[in-house]
Amino acid sequence: QEIICIFGTGDFGRSLGLKMLQCGYSIVFGSRNPQKNNLLPNGAEVLSYSEAAKKSDIIIIAIHREHYDFLTELTEVLNGKILVDISNNLKINQYPESNAEYLAQLVPGAHVVKAFNTISAWALQSGALDASRQVFVCGNDSKAKQRVMDIVRNLGLTPMDQGSLTAAKEIEKYPLQLFPMWRFPFYLSAVLCIFLFFYCVIRDVIYPYVYEKKDNTFRMAISIPNRVFPITALTLLALVYLPGVIAAILQLYRGTKYRRFPDWLDHWMLCRKQLGLLALGFAFLHVLYTLVIPIRYYVRWRLGNLTVTQAILKKENPFSTSSAWLSDSYVALGILGFFLFVLLGITSLPSVSNAVNWREFRFVQSKLGYLTLILCTAHTLVYGGKRFLSPSNLKWYLPAAYVLGLIIPCTVLVIKFVLIMPCVDNTLTRIRQGWE
Amino acid sequence: QEIICIFGTGDFGRSLGLKMLQCGYSIVFGSRNPQKNNLLPNGAEVLSYSEAAKKSDIIIIAIHREHYDFLTELTEVLNGKILVDISNNLKINQYPESNAEYLAQLVPGAHVVKAFNTISAWALQSGALDASRQVFVCGNDSKAKQRVMDIVRNLGLTPMDQGSLTAAKEIEKYPLQLFPMWRFPFYLSAVLCIFLFFYCVIRDVIYPYVYEKKDNTFRMAISIPNRVFPITALTLLALVYLPGVIAAILQLYRGTKYRRFPDWLDHWMLCRKQLGLLALGFAFLHVLYTLVIPIRYYVRWRLGNLTVTQAILKKENPFSTSSAWLSDSYVALGILGFFLFVLLGITSLPSVSNAVNWREFRFVQSKLGYLTLILCTAHTLVYGGKRFLSPSNLKWYLPAAYVLGLIIPCTVLVIKFVLIMPCVDNTLTRIRQGWE
Amino acid sequence: QEIICIFGTGDFGRSLGLKMLQCGYSIVFGSRNPQKNNLLPNGAEVLSYSEAAKKSDIIIIAIHREHYDFLTELTEVLNGKILVDISNNLKINQYPESNAEYLAQLVPGAHVVKAFNTISAWALQSGALDASRQVFVCGNDSKAKQRVMDIVRNLGLTPMDQGSLTAAKEIEKYPLQLFPMWRFPFYLSAVLCIFLFFYCVIRDVIYPYVYEKKDNTFRMAISIPNRVFPITALTLLALVYLPGVIAAILQLYRGTKYRRFPDWLDHWMLCRKQLGLLALGFAFLHVLYTLVIPIRYYVRWRLGNLTVTQAILKKENPFSTSSAWLSDSYVALGILGFFLFVLLGITSLPSVSNAVNWREFRFVQSKLGYLTLILCTAHTLVYGGKRFLSPSNLKWYLPAAYVLGLIIPCTVLVIKFVLIMPCVDNTLTRIRQGWE
Ligand SMILES: Cc1cc2nc3c(=O)[nH]c(=O)nc-3n(C[C@H](O)[C@H](O)[C@H](O)COP(=O)(O)OP(=O)(O)OC[C@H]3O[C@@H](n4cnc5c(N)ncnc54)[C@H](O)[C@@H]3O)c2cc1C
Ligand SMILES: Cc1cc2nc3c(=O)[nH]c(=O)nc-3n(C[C@H](O)[C@H](O)[C@H](O)COP(=O)(O)OP(=O)(O)OC[C@H]3O[C@@H](n4cnc5c(N)ncnc54)[C@H](O)[C@@H]3O)c2cc1C
Ligand SMILES: Cc1cc2nc3c(=O)[nH]c(=O)nc-3n(C[C@H](O)[C@H](O)[C@H](O)COP(=O)(O)OP(=O)(O)OC[C@H]3O[C@@H](n4cnc5c(N)ncnc54)[C@H](O)[C@@H]3O)c2cc1C
Ligand SMILES: NC(=O)c1ccc[n+]([C@@H]2O[C@H](COP(=O)([O-])OP(=O)(O)OC[C@H]3O[C@@H](n4cnc5c(N)ncnc54)[C@H](OP(=O)(O)O)[C@@H]3O)[C@@H](O)[C@H]2O)c1
Ligand SMILES: NC(=O)c1ccc[n+]([C@@H]2O[C@H](COP(=O)([O-])OP(=O)(O)OC[C@H]3O[C@@H](n4cnc5c(N)ncnc54)[C@H](OP(=O)(O)O)[C@@H]3O)[C@@H](O)[C@H]2O)c1
Ligand SMILES: NC(=O)c1ccc[n+]([C@@H]2O[C@H](COP(=O)([O-])OP(=O)(O)OC[C@H]3O[C@@H](n4cnc5c(N)ncnc54)[C@H](OP(=O)(O)O)[C@@H]3O)[C@@H](O)[C@H]2O)c1
Ligand SMILES: CCCCCCCCCCCCCCCC(=O)OC[C@H](COP(=O)(O)O)OC(=O)CCCCCCCCCCCCCCC
Ligand SMILES: CCCCCCCCCCCCCCCC(=O)OC[C@H](COP(=O)(O)O)OC(=O)CCCCCCCCCCCCCCC
Ligand SMILES: CCCCCCCCCCCCCCCC(=O)OC[C@H](COP(=O)(O)O)OC(=O)CCCCCCCCCCCCCCC
Ligand code: HEM
Ligand code: HEM
Ligand code: HEM
């Protein structure tokens, strides 16, 4: 049984100690106050810092960086030992050097390894390790690192070797980040939504108010969101496939794949997943908003009144096959598009994408992805139907919102169509096949 | 190539043997009846138990505990070898000591390691390892344990070190458990549902029958479930956030975080995930039940008749903007609430929660979780609208069911509102920051 | 710091080199053209092939198989070293022997290990390792294999030991496969859909056209798919549970479980998951198609006209409690069935099924699965209601499509019902318990 020493009997120290005891390690705690050992796990020993350090050659420093100074007094006993730094800061770039490097400076004779900082004390203790089980490990001494990684693995966590101690800076950032990859897609879609919202308010609320004195404000609850969301979804979906098309044009133009893309394109390509998932979210909202249409008071009132009027006029409505066709087919296209959309979403789940091979993943994401785009674009086109761009549909020279929403998708589809022409495609394939 | 010995040519022995052969091990089986070796994997040798044992220093005992006795005769040849106990019992606590400990008593000279008991023979053989790939391993000899864990890893499974052989008792319980964490939430929601069902039956079926002789029994198929389910969902959702609030009050009252919560609170906090997912399930049912409203015969009949009556009276229905606002906004609130609800569900998927860091997980679960609660409560409040608690809405002094459903959510939200007041919040943060 | 040599500065070589540098390895590239080293990761050295080989005892051959010949000139310097073959072919069975075995023939003195071929260069470089993180490793020298597996693990990937180098043939197939397990279920459901589509076209479009000259073609967009999809879903769902029933009968008949099932049954049992998920997909489409019914032009037109007619006749529609019961209960059954269906789908997600034990998985998949089948069958039966098989419902002697769809589900349920009779069940349990 390996003995491990933990400095600090705070939340994290206790939780880690408990977990380690459960996994078969012997634990000795170092504390300023070895007597006052309430709440400590059964079976653990508590000693003063220096005595505890003597018992083991692996010491986990479960103390805030601010209180590291006292360790300088222990340099001798810590010499040659493995010190595991698990500390986090309160904000990114709080200190010039990472905590682990600071620790290495304080105790130059020890092998400092950074680990465990992404794990929450509460989660460790309660076993509710819902958030990440990944433990990022770095350090300059590879033997020390290896021993820490073995411990991590034995605790049922997943160690990820990140290289030398300089990586600690990066590792200390992880637990402070909040969805960094989602930031750009999120702001983009927020801007899109707000713009479209005001655009629709002008067309659907202010315009009728100005010309017909009709109070249409209630439309802002459902009708207008149900324009804004699907158009945002469609635009975002097109923006997922636009960078691939731009990249292809660039490669064709340059005649080689061995040149880096401009930074903006690189970044764009890396956040396509997030763009796509946001698009799915908006599409989902669109579907819900659409499905509740028939239970809305306004719709029931309108249809009811229509029927009453007809009944009073004693006139039945003639049936138009072409309307039935148009209405049914745009809805059917939407449903099929949404279905494939959900499929794309399911294959983005880490566990599913992990279970398919690269070719299968590409097949779903690229082939079915384009099919999704085609179906959703067709859905909107057929919905627009004959009204599309007809002057009677302009209000204050503003076309209907969905016309704007169609610009990017149609552009992407047209360029892609050109790119898969055999002549262009062959050149591209040759370029992508490699070394000229 | 390592040679591994398997005792017993039954289902599990054969399946494990086959898998090991595929992963590059050499296998020798021990059997009572080495000749009758039908269905055994190609390439495996079959010998008598004692001969087979001589060939390898790792022996997997794929035999039911009930037949272990004959191993006592082999104590000599098994001396110093690693015996892997893979057996399960038929029910929890069938025997006083665990099977692995029993084996260790029978063959005191061997190093007994418990492993593989959670893996199904059929799954091993067919490769359909859908259920858990985790292999819990325990044993007193750490070298032996390590070797078994290496084998587990090479088979593509995930070993989890659980410490010394005393953990075998726990490990043998795993495959016999049936959703232990879901039990309490499940019973709680069942009780809630049944209570609400009868409550609604009284108000919506029996009351009209008594006073108007109307046969409303058909309401028990959709209308009443569509009251029971959303109210249960809302209550469960509030119960997810109640313990956090209670914990905060307790911490404020005690002035420290370093005291254990009462057991009931601890347990409640650990089953919040299950409560939340059940709430999501009920909300999902509510959404489906709501979306089918317009295709129900009863609704079509009622709306049709309403229109016919109006047409006969030659009176159009006046449009009420405030009704349109109310109706649209409660539905919109419901949709947004449900959307966030689904998001909470998606982030509970183990693979997704594993890919986010703790801060992100907390952000979604706690911040967005409260937003979900707010939206869902607002949805219900606006749905209630003016009728809320109006005496005309009481039947036999019983208020509408949703009024009951609002009690807990509103309480939680009010207390939470108090807790995030700067003065209270600062104290709480200080307490939670740690060591006084 | 371990030094690793990579032959070839193409896409894969560079990406792998970059990743390895990030994880703390030292990299030296071997190239035909050591000067022209554009785009190579910072910190890597580039030498000629032979010089580079001298620097390390692990050499990764990031070159297409077609250009392996020059390695024969380096046999001396490569002697005793570990060569990692990462190459893929363009199609399955392009060459008689696997690339790795070919490499082993070319450089007989080296230890060839196959690895990394399932990882995409682009994913490695961008960190977007969405598709599989699994690295299948095989090789004849177990020490060499172990070292490669350690590297794989340090890169944050999951090594899977597949045994000796003969497994390379299989491993080289993986990245070229496209959903092999889904093929049969996919074709089966395609055939079912097409058949049902034409069946319904005959009954719902051609028949009315012939007898009433009605143009019903618009039904092909929604109404007919909304027959085809649910019936396919129900049939596929029944086909998921049919093999289990057949297997039980076979075991009862043979009186033993220790005989292999016929191949077709084995294969069928292994693709039940895929059948089930396809069924879920079709059910999902059915639900969407059903929920949009009230917003279809045709439905609005029909209901509107009905009401107008009644208003003109000044006749209210009488309310039929039994219709209300029937309509509400078939819809409620459908909703509950779909809910359980979705639950089955959720537990098939690899990460969820990984988190439950075998007993729990069986409980959901088998017990709740049968409940799903029962609910969906009941939904269809009640939907059929009294019209079921009534002669007036035959068109050209063809019964309604759902009648066909009920055959397999009802058969499965009836046989299962017989099988769970205590007398039969006991015999079966005894047989399944094992060794006679
Ligand atoms: C709902 C939804 C979910 C999504 N989930 C994910 C997800 O989980 N993960 C994800 O990555 N994307 C995701 N996406 C985004 C999108 O589907 C993928 O990025 C898709 O692969 C883009 O397809 P494409 O044909 O435009 O790719 P392209 O850009 O045409 O091709 C990209 C591929 O081509 C190859 N390639 C590109 N450039 C080069 C080059 N210079 N040299 C060699 N090869 C090159 C690479 O293999 C690369 O992967 C999602 C989208 C949606 C709508
Ligand atoms: C659909 C759905 C899915 C859900 N899925 C999950 C899930 O997957 N996993 C899950 O855990 N929950 C899940 N939940 C439950 C719920 O969302 C979370 O438990 C949520 O985090 C509770 O938030 P809270 O603000 O009430 O937490 P609080 O109880 O206020 O805070 C809890 C957090 O505070 C901290 N804390 C609490 N007590 C202490 C203490 N004594 N010392 C130091 N820190 C302390 C801890 O970090 C703890 O995690 C789910 C809920 C729903 C509705
Ligand atoms: C939406 C959906 C998702 C699904 N997802 C999955 C999935 O992820 N994974 C999956 O596997 N299936 C999946 N299925 C298919 C299906 O649910 C399962 O296969 C289900 O377990 C079949 O149940 P059954 O009672 O017919 O099994 P049975 O065939 O009656 O029993 C099978 C089980 O019995 C035992 N058994 C069978 N034969 C023998 C024997 N000769 N000796 C000893 N024991 C034997 C085994 O334990 C075997 O697992 C899914 C189905 C649906 C509809
Ligand atoms: N809590 C988490 O979820 C979490 C997660 C990841 C990382 N971490 C990191 O773990 C470290 C400890 O966090 P924690 O939550 O355990 O904090 P804590 O509860 O405040 O405990 C800190 C411990 O440090 C010791 N200590 C030594 N010198 C000290 C001094 N001068 N003043 C105060 N304490 C001193 C104390 O132990 P003695 O009284 O025994 O000396 C005290 O219990 C931090 O670096 C934190 O970033 C925490
Ligand atoms: N089946 C599973 O899915 C599974 C999963 C996890 C764990 N397990 C455990 O694995 C063990 C074996 O299960 P199994 O399903 O393989 O059972 P089984 O099919 O009944 O096989 C048991 C084997 O034990 C041997 N054996 C030795 N002495 C025996 C005796 N006196 N009577 C009967 N058999 C004797 C027999 O092999 P010989 O004829 O060759 O001697 C027989 O084939 C059990 O402990 C079980 O709990 C099974
Ligand atoms: N790309 C992927 O996503 C991927 C994924 C898995 C496996 N692979 C495998 O990795 C290997 C390399 O793929 P790659 O995409 O990196 O190909 P690539 O970009 O075409 O690079 C091939 C490299 O091979 C070297 N080479 C040596 N002799 C050569 C010759 N006679 N002709 C041409 N090149 C020669 C060249 O490097 P120098 O100029 O430096 O000599 C060249 O850069 C292939 O076996 C492939 O199957 C690739
Ligand atoms: C119905 C559609 C589903 C509903 C809503 C869509 C959600 C859109 C937003 C997803 C947000 C995910 C937050 C992930 C947090 C994160 O950063 O997560 C980070 C992880 C890991 O990312 P990396 O692997 O890139 O590090 O990303 C994910 O795991 C993405 C998960 C995507 C899940 C999509 C699930 C769709 C499931 C659809 C089911 C069927 C629906 C049926 C409909 C009727
Ligand atoms: C649409 C809503 C989705 C539908 C229904 C909600 C399901 C609610 C019940 C979930 C039950 C999960 C059983 C898990 C068994 C278990 O114990 O599983 C145990 C595991 C692991 O638990 P531990 O990690 O705590 O050990 O728990 C889970 O994995 C929970 C999985 C939750 C999945 C929620 C998925 C929601 C996805 C929504 C997708 C988008 C829907 C779009 C809607 C139109
Ligand atoms: C709403 C229902 C959900 C929608 C649609 C159903 C999708 C049906 C088709 C699934 C196809 C999955 C492709 C997998 C590719 C693959 O090979 O994947 C291979 C993997 C791994 O397989 P192995 O483990 O067998 O190797 O299989 C899977 O991961 C299957 C994933 C199943 C996902 C089902 C998800 C259902 C989620 C429902 C959420 C809630 C919905 C709420 C509804 C309103
Ligand atoms: C179940 C699937 C879907 C259904 C039933 C559906 C239905 C509808 C309906 C009924 C409308 C008209 C709304 C109105 O009258 O105001 C509409 C509009 C629209 N839909 Fe869909 N849709 C679906 C999926 C999608 C998807 C996946 C997308 C693309 C991302 C999409 C994009 C659009 C767009 C852009 C509009 C035009 C919005 C406007 O300007 O009014 N739809 N859809
Ligand atoms: C898509 C999302 C949603 C929609 C469209 C929706 C719609 C509705 C509708 C139409 C009603 C009135 C039902 C009736 O007339 O009987 C209702 C009631 C209700 N909803 Fe929702 N809802 C949604 C989501 C939610 C969610 C997520 C919750 C909370 C968990 C919720 C809780 C309630 C409650 C408690 C009632 C009152 C039930 C009663 O007493 O009748 N809803 N909802
Ligand atoms: C939310 C859940 C569900 C709802 C609301 C629902 C509703 C309906 C409705 C309204 C119909 C009649 C369609 C028509 O008039 O043409 C129908 C038919 C049918 N449903 Fe469902 N259903 C659901 C789930 C399911 C599921 C899960 C299955 C089985 C896999 C299923 C199988 C069928 C079948 C076989 C028919 C007969 C199709 C025909 O011949 O017209 N349903 N369902």
The answer to whether A33 and A16 have CB atoms below 8 angstroms apart is no
Q: Is the model more confident about B190 or about A92?
A: B190
In the predicted structure, residue C138 carries a pLDDT above the cut 70: yes
With vertex at residue B68, the alpha carbon angle to CA B64 and CA B74, rounded to the nearest 5 degrees, is: 140
C-alpha distances in angstroms, C327 versus B15, B219, B291, B296, B299?
A: 50, 11, 15, 6, 11
Please tell me the distance between residue C252's alpha carbon and the centre of ligand 5 in angstroms.
20
Half-sphere exposure of A224 (CA within 13 A, CB side): 21
Helix, strand, coil % in chain B, rounded to nearest 5: 65, 10, 25
CA distance C357 to C362: 9
Give the minimum alpha-carbon distance from A178 to chain B in angstroms, rounded to a whole number.
Answer: 6
CA distance A364 to B428: 49
Please tell me the distance between residue B11's alpha carbon and the centre of ligand 5 in angstroms.
7
E strands present in C66-216:
82-85, 111-114, 134-139, 158-161
**Cβ contacts of C371 within 8 Å, gap of 6 or more:** C340
In the predicted structure, residue A294 carries a pLDDT above the cut 70: yes
* Contact between chains at A163 and C292 (C-beta distance less than 8 A): no
Q: Is the model more confident about B1 or about B379?
A: B379
Query: Which phi and psi angles does A89 have, rounded to 5°?
Result: -105, 175
The CB of B346 under 6 Å from ligand 8? The reply is yes
Give the minimum alpha-carbon distance from B44 to chain A in angstroms, rounded to a whole number.
Answer: 30
What residue owns the CA closest to ligand 4's atom 21? Answer: A10
Residue B303: its chain A contacts at CB < 8 A?
300, 304
> Of the ranges A374-378, B31-35, C167-171, C387-391, which one carries the lowest mean pLDDT score?
C387-391
Q: What is the largest CA-CA distance in chain C?
A: 102
CA distance C412 to B184: 34
In the predicted structure, residue C347 carries a pLDDT above the cut 70: yes
In the block, tokens 């050209």 appear at C396
Provide the pLDDT for residue C434: 62
Going edge to edge, which strands form the sheet with B134-139? B45-48, B26-31, B3-7, B58-61, B82-85, B111-114, B134-139, B158-161
Ligand 5 pocket mutation, candidates B5, B7, B12, B122, criterion most atoms within 8 A of CB: B12
ipTM, interface predicted TM-score of the complex = 0.93
State the ligand closest to the CA atom of B118: 5
Q: Predicted confidence band at C115 (pLDDT cuts at 50, 70, 90)?
A: very high
Please tell me the distance between residue B356's alpha carbon and the centre of ligand 2 in angstroms.
15
Provide the pLDDT for residue B133: 79
The continuous run of DSSP H or E covering C59 comes out as strand C58-61
Q: Which of C25, C93, C107, C99 lies closest to C62, judged by CA? A: C99
In the predicted structure, residue B435 carries a pLDDT above the cut 60: no
The answer to whether C221 and A332 have CB atoms below 8 angstroms apart is yes
CA distance C136 to C231: 41
Give the minimum alpha-carbon distance from C385 to chain A in angstroms, rounded to a whole number.
Answer: 26
State the ligand closest to the CA atom of B416: 2
pLDDT digits (tens, 9 = 90+) for B362-394: 999 999 999 999 999 999 999 987 776 677 778
In the predicted structure, residue C24 carries a pLDDT above the cut 50: yes
CA distance B1 to A435: 40
C-alpha distances in angstroms, A61 versus A82, A98, C123?
A: 10, 15, 36
pTM score, two decimals? 0.93
Give the minimum alpha-carbon distance from C226 to chain B in angstroms, rounded to a whole number.
Answer: 15
Provide the pLDDT for residue C436: 47
pLDDT digits (tens, 9 = 90+) for B66-112: 999 999 999 999 999 999 999 999 888 889 999 999 999 999 999 99
Of C324, C350, C363, the CB nearest to B297: C324
Q: What is the largest CA-CA distance in chain A?
A: 102
- Enter the tokens of residue B366: 């706690």
Q: Would you say the C-alpha torsion A169, A175, A177, A180 has a positive or negative sign?
A: positive
CA distance A325 to A332: 10
Q: Predicted confidence band at B128 (pLDDT cuts at 50, 70, 90)?
A: low
Please tell me the distance between residue B366's alpha carbon and the centre of ligand 2 in angstroms.
6
* Contact between chains at B325 and A217 (C-beta distance less than 8 A): yes
Helices (H), B46-182: 49-55, 75-78, 99-106, 121-126, 142-154, 168-173
In the predicted structure, residue A43 carries a pLDDT above the cut 60: yes
C-alpha distances in angstroms, A38 versus A10, A13, B233, B258?
A: 10, 13, 40, 8
The CB of B356 under 6 Å from ligand 7? The reply is yes
Measured in residues, chain B has a length of 436
Provide the pLDDT for residue B436: 47
In the block, tokens 């207008």 appear at A224
The CB of B229 under 6 Å from ligand 11? The reply is no
Half-sphere exposure of C399 (CA within 13 A, CB side): 12
Provide the pLDDT for residue C128: 65
In the predicted structure, residue A376 carries a pLDDT above the cut 80: yes
CA distance B399 to B392: 10
Q: Is the model more confident about B434 or about B112?
A: B112
The CB of B332 under 6 Å from ligand 7? The reply is no
Query: Chain A residue closest to C283 (CA)?
Result: A339
State the ligand closest to the CA atom of B224: 11
Q: Is the model more confident about C334 or about B39?
A: C334
Highest mean pLDDT among A29-38, A388-397, A414-423: A414-423
Contacts 24+ apart (CB under 8 A), C312-317: C312/A311, C312/A314, C314/B312, C315/B308, C316/B305, C316/B308, C316/B309, C317/B301, C317/B304, C317/B305, C317/B308
In the predicted structure, residue A154 carries a pLDDT above the cut 90: no
The answer to whether A397 and A223 have CB atoms below 8 angstroms apart is no
The continuous run of DSSP H or E covering C384 comes out as helix C369-384
| Beta bridge pairs of residue A3 | A26
Q: Residues lining ligand 1, judged by CB closer than 6 Å?
A: A 237, 240-241, 244, 247, 257, 272-273, 276-277, 279-280, 341, 344-345, 348, 353, 365-366, 369, 432; C 120, 122, 128, 130
> What percentage of residues in chain C have a pLDDT greater than 70?
97
Nearest 10 degrees: Cα torsion C210, C214, C215, C220: -80
Provide the pLDDT for residue A425: 93
pLDDT digits (tens, 9 = 90+) for C193-232: 999 999 999 999 999 999 999 899 999 999 999 999 999 9
pLDDT digits (tens, 9 = 90+) for C250-264: 999 988 877 788 999
- Enter the tokens of residue C418: 């017989």
Q: What is the mean pLDDT of residues B199-205?
A: 95
Provide the pLDDT for residue C389: 65
- Chains A, C: CB contacts within 8 A come to 158
Please tell me the distance between residue A348's alpha carbon and the centre of ligand 1 in angstroms.
12
Task: Count the neighbouring beta carbons within 10 Å of the beta carbon of residue B261.
Answer: 17
* Contact between chains at B120 and C349 (C-beta distance less than 8 A): no
Question: How much is the mean pLDDT over chain C?
Answer: 91
Provide the pLDDT for residue B190: 98
